[in-house]
């Protein structure tokens, strides 16, 4: 394949990341949009962050319907208002 676009929203460990970077550098893959990686969060030293042909998304590729989003919001709001544990807390130390 030549000049192919690559999107990974599946599992990070299914992609040979070194091979993908090599294919990007050679021009065999023209663009990679990556939502998941073998190591999460990606270290600051990762080549993916600065690569000109890579777009990194914040691990948000799951399909969410408006109904699911509203239900999650209402559950979170109710838990906060009642002093209960909130299940969808961002871990700042992990970066996600």
* Active-site pick, 3, 30, 51, 59: 59
Q: Could you tell me which residues come within 8 angstroms of residue 13 by beta carbon, excluding any fewer than 6 positions away? A: 38
* Active-site pick, 3, 11, 30, 51: 11
Q: Cα–Cα distances in Å, from 31 out to 2, 4, 24, 26?
A: 11, 7, 7, 12
Report how far residue 82's alpha carbon sits from residue 24's, in angstroms, rounded to the nearest whole number: 50
Active site residue 3: no
Active site residue 51: no
Phi-psi region of 95 (alpha: psi -120 to 50; beta: other; left: phi over 0): left
- Residues known to be catalytic: 11, 59
């Amino acid at each position: 394949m030549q000049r192919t676009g690559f999107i990974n929203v599946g599992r990070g460990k299914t992609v040979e990341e070194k091979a993908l970077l090599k294919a990007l550098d050679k021009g065999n893959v023209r663009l990679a949009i990556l939502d998941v990686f073998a190591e999460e969060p990606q270290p600051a030293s990762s080549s993916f962050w600065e690569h000109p042909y890579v777009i990194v998304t914040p691990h948000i590729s799951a399909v969410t319907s408006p109904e699911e989003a509203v239900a999650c919001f209402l559950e979170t709001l109710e838990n906060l208002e009642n002093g209960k544990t909130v299940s969808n807390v961002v871990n700042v130390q992990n970066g996600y």
